[in-house]
Amino acid sequence: MTIDVHARDLRYFVAVAEELHFTRAAEKLYVSQPALSKQIRVLERQLGAELLRRDRHGVALTAAGEALLPHAREVLAAWEAGAAAVEAAKAAQRSTLVVGMSTSPGRGGLLPAIRSRFTAAHPEVTARLRQVGWEDPTAGLADGSADVAFVWLPLPDEERYAWTVLAEEPRLVALPDTHPLAVHAEIDFADLLDEPFLALPHSAGPLRGHWLALDTRAGRPPRIGAEIAGAEETYEALVAGLGVCLVAEGNAPLITLGGVTTRPVRGIGPSRYALAWRREDAGRPLVRAYAEACRATVEGQDTPGRGRSAMSCS
C-alpha cells in the first residue's frame, strides 16, 4: 500500500509524540493548536489508525503511534540530510573556482573558449585565474590554492592528481640568434648535449628533468647555465647567452621577442599540456564541470595546425 504523506504531517506527529501535549507542541512548531490537531487527524485518516490517544488525563501514544515514531524520525532525518545536500550543491554552484596556471594556455584561444563554455553552463560561478611561478609545477594544486590547474606533465607526487591531457606539442630548442646552431632548420638533440641549459628550479621535481630531456641523455648529466622561474627570466638568460632551453611549441612566442629563435629538435619526444586536479576533489561538481568544458573545447578545436589533442585521463 502506497500512501502519500507530507513531511510536515510527520513533523507535527513527532512533535506531539515527544511533548505528549498538543499546546506545547504547537508552540514548538509555531502553529496554532487547532491547526496542529487537524493535521494529526488528517495523518491518522491517511494511515487508517489512531496514533495518539487524547483524554482528560493528557496525550499518549497508541501502539500504532509507537510503531510509527522511529520511522517518522528516520524519514525526517533523511529529508533534512537531503535538503542540506541540495543547499550544499547550490552553494557549490554559486562559488568560485580557482584555476591555476604558470603560463597562459593561449594555443589558438583555448583559455577564452574554455571560459566561455564553462560560464555558459554555470553563469553563477566565478572562475578566477591564479598565476603561479614555475617553482610550483602543480600551479597551486599542491598547497590547495587552486582547485584545478593547467600544468605540464610530469607532475611531482603524481599519485595525488588526476588530469586530462589537452595537447601534445613538440619540444623546440630556444637559443640566441647568434648561436652557431641557429643556422640549422632542425637540430639533433645529440648536438645539444654539451650546451649549457637553462633549468627550472629543483622544486619543479620531474618537470625539471623533462625540460632538460634527461631521458634522452643516456645518463650523461646536463650542464646548467642558469635557473629560470618565468618567461621573462628565460628570455633574458637566452639573450645573455647563459644557455639554451627546451620549450613547448605553443610557448615559443613567449620568449622569441627579438634576439631569440627556436628550432625543431630531432630525437626527443613531445611535451604534454594538461588540466589537473587533486584526486580527492574528483567528485566536486565544479571540478568535473571545468574538466568537461576543457575536454569539449579541445575536441571542438582539434586541428592539424594546433598540435594533437589527447583526451586521456589518469
**DSSP labels for 29-49?**
HTS-HHHHHHHHHHHHHHHTS
| Rounded Cα–Cα distance for residues 292 and 298 (Å) | 10
**Cβ-contact 261, 182 below 8 angstroms:** yes
| Chain segment 156-198, per-residue pLDDT in tens | 999 999 999 998 999 999 999 999 999 999 999 999 999 999 9
CATH number at residue 37: 1.10.10.10
Q: Please check whether residue 178 lies inside any domain of the structure.
A: yes
133 lies in the same domain as 54: no
- CATH code at position 135: 3.40.190.10
User: Residue 147 belongs to what domain range?
Assistant: 95-167+272-300
The answer on 62 and 125 residing in a single domain is: no
Residue 308 lies in a domain: no
Report whether 308 contacts 157 (CB < 8 A). no
Instruction: Identify the CA nearest to 79 among candidates 11, 12, 23, 29.
Output: 11
The pLDDT of residue 4 is 73
Say what the pLDDT of residue 111 is: 85
pLDDT of residue 147: 94
- Distance CA(196)–CA(237), nearest Å, equals 11
Q: 79 with 126, same domain? A: no
Question: Tens digits of per-residue pLDDT, 122-132?
Answer: 988 889 999 99
Is 260 inside a domain boundary? yes
Asked whether residue 39 is assigned to any structural domain, the reply reads: yes
CA angle 229/231/232 to nearest 5° reads 95
Whether 109 and 65 map to the same domain: the answer is: no
* Residue carrying C-alpha cell 594556455: 105
pLDDT at position 301: 63
CA 49/CA 42 separation, integer angstroms? 11
Q: Which residues of the chain have pLDDT under 70?
A: 1-3, 90-94, 104-108, 301-314
Amino acid at 98: V
Could you tell me if residue 47 is inside a domain? yes
* Residue 279 grid cell: 584526486
Instruction: Report the residue count for the chain.
Output: 314
Non-local (6+) Cβ contacts of 254 within 8 A are 103, 231, 234, 235, 247
Q: Please check whether residue 245 lies inside any domain of the structure.
A: yes
Number of domains in the chain: 3
Q: What is the pLDDT of residue 144?
A: 93
So what's the pLDDT on residue 91?
65
Cell numbers that stand for 159 in this block: 599519485
Give the bridge partners for 163, in sequence order: 276
Q: What single DSSP character describes residue 273?
A: E
102's CB contacts (< 8 A; 6+ apart) are 131, 132, 133, 134, 136, 137, 139, 150, 151, 152
Tell me: do 198 and 226 sit in the same domain.
Answer: yes
The amino acid present at 208, given as its one-letter code, is R
Using CB atoms within 10 A of its CB, is residue 277 exposed (0-12), middle (13-18) or buried (19+)? buried
Q: What is the pLDDT of residue 106?
A: 62
Q: Are residues 201 and 249 in the same domain?
A: yes
Residue 306: inside a domain, yes or no? no
196 near 224, Cβ under 8 Å? yes
Question: Under DSSP, is residue 2 helix (H, G, I), strand (E, B) or coil?
Answer: coil
Residue 279 is predicted with a pLDDT of 96
- Is position 2 within any domain? no
